[in-house]
Amino acid sequence: MPLELNDIFVTPDSSLEVDECFVYDDLSAEGEQLTVSPVRVRGQVKNSGGLVELSYTAEFDYSKPCDRCLADAKKSVKQDFVHTLALSAENEDTDDIIIVAGYTLDLFSLVRDDILLELPIKHLCSEGCLGLCPKCGQNLNEGSCGCKKEAVDPRMAVLDELMQD
């Protein structure tokens, strides 16, 4: 879904509305159980006195297993993004600038990169998630399991894990 930006670049103070819905099937890393809903993208490309900017809001849901209890946990994301667009990298600080070669912007790929950066590394079903019992594997959010609670010395826990292997 390339955006043709020829008119925007050559016409000062012009703008182009963006309203798309993108479906990504391949966002998860290998072995990761990540499900992402279609991504609603709404915003505009605007030429303000020669400076061309893309600003948009991305809205989507995603779900993946909680880091602690492994239950599927769903989150909703609504995030704004702004990018400066340029035709070439000449004389520009290229870090924050998207180069639009041939007046064509690959919005699909850009949004993909943006939302991947937005997904938090740490993913919990809730801040207070109790996780799984290290002994029996019971999900402690659903109730306690009756295992004896011991103050675990972290060094002993490591030994325990080694013994189990």
User: Is residue 140 within the footprint of Zn ion (CB under 5 A)?
Assistant: no
Task: Give 69 or 105: the residue with its C-beta nearer to Zn ion.
Answer: 69
Residue with Cβ nearer Zn ion (18 or 73): 73
What is the rounded distance in angstroms from the CA atom of residue 101 to the CA atom of residue 127?
44
Q: Which is nearer to Zn ion, 82 or 156 (CB)?
A: 156
Binding residues among 114-133 for Zn ion as defined by CB under 5 A: 125, 129, 133
> Nearest to residue 15, comparing CAs of 51, 41, 39?
51
Beta carbon of residue 111, minimum distance to Zn ion (angstroms, whole number): 29
Q: Does residue 77 bind Zn ion (CB under 5 A)?
A: no
- Could you say which of 3, 45, 66, 132 contacts Zn ion (CB under 5 A)? 66
Closer Cβ to Zn ion, 105 or 125, answer by number: 125
- Taking residues 141 to 160 in sequence order and writing x for each that binds Zn ion by CB under 5 A, - otherwise, the string is ----x-x-------------
The reply to whether 52 sits near Zn ion by the rule CB under 5 A is no
CA-closest candidate to residue 161, choices 135, 126, 125? 135
Q: Which stretch binds Zn ion (CB under 5 A): 1-9, 14-22, 57-65, 68-76?
A: 68-76
Which amino acid, one-letter code, is at 142? E
- We find the least distance from the C-beta atom of residue 118 to Zn ion, in angstroms, to be 21
Write out the residues near Zn ion by the rule CB under 5 A. 66, 68-69, 125, 129, 133, 135-136, 138, 145, 147
